[in-house]
Amino acid sequence: MKLTNKTLTWLVAGMVSIVLVASANAQTTKERTGKVVRIKGAARYSTGNKTWQPLKVGTILKSGSVIQTAADSYADIVINEEATADAVIMPRPSTQPSSASASGGGAGGGAGAKSPEYDVVRVQDDTVLAIDKLSATDTGADRVTETELDLRTGSIFGSVKKQAAASRFEVKIPNGVAGIRGTIFSINANGLISCLTGSVVSAFTDDSNKVTTRVVPAGFQFNSRNGQMGAMGSALLGQLQGIASDISYNFSGGRRPDFNNYMNLGREWVSPTQP
């Protein structure tokens, strides 16, 4: 007995629905969040309703948030899964790089910098940063994360751990976008991209309105405004190494210590007026 076109269409649609349902069950997407773990100076944030609130240690930031820092200020934000967003991340005292470690340049620029163990972004002074997307999808075989940041003005410093092949960590700037993967980096909205470890892929629009891609290796700085690439000097290298050391946080043995106790013990590291 032959199947009519209508019956065949119904059977195909039913099979597609079953596949889609099975795929949805196999993949669980969760919202990621950013948690403010340290602030120097003053900063504020908005959740998209144009109402600004003071940014504080412990503030949870979600997709759609916009962060703004004042002059001589910065905020450190750790990006986590929603389920672990309330885990307290304990800062450790930083050690400024010695003259020996800061004297190198070029491809050796990453010497002395630890590989990232988690994703942390420092929003530098006089900066406006929007969080466009934070998500994590469990595919069954791997965890795929998507992070999309919009750097409107100012600069950020970031330390991003190694990700799954399908994951994306992107920072949009006025003339392009930077793709990050297991990298310690610095990006300025004016187009300057510096890479301390790993590499950064810069996709930008050149003077002829053509989209061009360049890979920025460790120890180099790239200017997407004029397309020039060069090795970082010792001064910039030492500065980035110092920031990398300063934002090297450790989880407290996997525990979730009392937040108030953490504030008391770590007051010198989370003071709104002292670094």
Question: DSSP states of 212-254 as a string?
Answer: EEEEEETTEEEETTTTEEEEPPHHHHHHHHHHHHHT--EESTT
Burial class (CB in 10 A: 0-12, 13-18, 19+), 56: middle
Share of the chain above pLDDT 90, in %: 50
Residue 11: per-residue pLDDT? 40
Q: What is the pLDDT of residue 197?
A: 93
Q: What's at 222, amino acid-wise?
A: F
- What's the confidence (pLDDT) of residue 142? 80
User: Count of CB atoms within 10 A of residue 179's CB?
Assistant: 16
Check residue 110 and give its pLDDT: 56
Strands 192-197 and 184-188, sheet pairing: antiparallel
What is the pTM assigned to this prediction? 0.73
Domains of the chain with bracketed CATH:
29-270 (2.60.120.1440)
pLDDT digits (tens, 9 = 90+) for 172-213: 999 999 999 888 999 999 999 999 999 999 999 877 888 899
Count other C-beta atoms under 10 Å from residue 147's C-beta: 25
Q: Which residues of the chain have pLDDT under 70?
A: 1-27, 81-117, 249-275
